[in-house]
Amino acid sequence: MPSRATLPEWAALRKHRDTIASTNLRAQFAADPSRGTRMAASGAGLFLDYSKHRINNDTLALLRALADACGLRSRIEAMFRGDHINLTEDRAVLHTALRAKRGATVSDKGVNVVGEVHGVLDRMAVCADAIRSGAWRGHTGSRIRAVVNVGIGGSDLGPVMAYEALRHFSDRSIAFRFVSNVDSTDFAEATRDLDPAETLFIISSKTFTTLETMTNAHTARAWLLKAFGGDEQAVAKHFVAVSTNAKQVAAFGIDTANMFGFWDWVGGRYSMDSAIGLSTMLAIGPDNFRAMLDGMHEMDEHFRTAPWETNLPVIMGLLAVWYADFFGAQTVAVLPYDQYLKRFPAYLQQLTMESNGKRIALDGSVVDYDTGAVYWGEPGTNGQHSFYQLIHQGTRLIPCDFIGFHEGLNPIGAHHDILMANVFAQAEALAFGKTPEQVKAEGTPDWLVPHRVFDGNRPSSVILAQRLDPATLGRLVALYEMSVFTQGTIWNINSFDQWGVELGKQLAQRIIPELTSHTPLAHDSSTNNLIAIYREKRG
**Contact residues for ligand F6P (CB under 6 A)?**
152-155, 205-207, 210, 213, 268-269, 354, 498, 501
**Shortest reach from residue 269's CB to ligand F6P, in Å:** 6
**Nearest CB to ligand F6P, comparing residues 155 and 494:** 155
Query: Cβ of residue 327: shortest distance to ligand F6P, in angstroms?
Result: 29
Q: Which residues contact 140 (CB under 8 A, 6 or more apart)?
A: 197, 228
Smaller CB distance to ligand F6P: residue 501 or 507? 501
7 phi, psi to nearest 5 deg: -65, 140
Of the candidates 385, 451, 518, 537, the residue annotated as catalytic is: 385
Comparison of 67 and 346: residue with beta carbon closer to ligand F6P: 346
Bridge partners (DSSP) listed for residue 179: 150
Q: Clarify whether 505 is annotated catalytic.
A: yes
- Report the residue number, 206 or 237, with the smaller CB distance to ligand F6P: 206
Smallest gap, in angstroms, from Cβ of residue 257 to ligand F6P?
21
- Stated as kind and residue range, the H or E segment containing 401 is strand 400-405
131 and 147 Cβ atoms separated by less than 8 Å:
yes
Smallest separation, CB 304 to ligand F6P (Å): 25
Rounded Cα–Cα distance for residues 155 and 205 (Å): 6
> Which residues, in sequence order, are CB contacts of 539 under 8 Å at separation 6+?
none
Q: Which CB atom, from 208 or from 303, has the smaller least distance to ligand F6P?
A: 208
How many other CB atoms sit within 10 Å of the CB of residue 247?
Answer: 10
Q: Torsions phi, psi of 118, nearest 5?
A: -70, -30
User: 89 vs 171, which CB is nearer to ligand F6P?
Assistant: 89
Which among 101, 247, 415, 505 is annotated as catalytic? Answer: 505
Nearest approach, Cβ of residue 247 and ligand F6P (Å): 14
Cβ proximity to ligand F6P, 120 vs 463, nearer residue: 120
List C-alpha distances in Å: 302 to 298, 308, 311, 478. 6, 10, 7, 10
- Kindly tell me the sign of the dihedral angle through the C-alpha atoms of 522, 527, 530, 535: negative
With b for 16 or more beta-carbon neighbours within 10 A and e for fewer, the 74-84 pattern comes to ebbebbbebbe
Is 407 among the catalytic positions? no
Helix/strand/coil (H/E/C) assignment for every residue in 459-494: CEEEEEECCCCHHHHHHHHHHHHHHHHHHHHHHCCC
Q: Rounded distance, CA 124 to CA 50, Å?
A: 39
354 is a catalytic site residue = yes
Nearest C-alpha neighbor of 168 from the set 295, 405, 340? 340
Sign of CA pseudo-dihedral 144, 147, 150, 153: positive
Question: Which CB, 207 or 527, lies closer to ligand F6P?
Answer: 207
Which of 212, 298, 354, 514 is catalytic? The answer is 354
CB of 318 to ligand F6P, least distance (A): 26
| Shortest spacing between CB 409 and ligand F6P, in angstroms | 29
CA quadruple 180, 183, 185, 187: dihedral positive or negative?
positive
What span, in angstroms and rounded, lies between the C-alpha atoms of 525 and 431? Answer: 51
Q: Are 284 and 273 in contact (CB under 8 A)?
A: no
Assign residue 340 a region (left: φ > 0; alpha: ψ between -120 and 50; beta: otherwise): alpha
Please say which residue, 155 or 258, places its beta carbon nearer to ligand F6P: 155
Q: How far is the CB of 173 from ligand F6P (least distance, A)?
A: 29
Give the distance from CA 228 to its chain's centroid.
38
Q: CB of residue 246 vs ligand F6P: minimum separation in angstroms?
A: 14
Residue among 171, 191, 197, 152 nearest 282 (CA)? 171
Q: What values do phi and psi take at 347, rounded to 5?
A: -60, -45
Please return the burial class of 22, using the count of CB atoms within 10 Å of its CB with bins 0-12, 13-18 and 19+: exposed
Instruction: Return the SS3 of 84.
Output: coil
**DSSP β-ladder status, 107-108 and 111-112:** antiparallel
CB-closest chain residue to ligand F6P: 268
Could you tell me the smallest distance in angstroms from the CB atom of residue 73 to ligand F6P?
Answer: 28
Pick the closer one to ligand F6P by CB: 53 or 269: 269
CB of 279 closer than 8 Å to CB of 147: yes
Residues marked as catalytic = 354, 385, 505
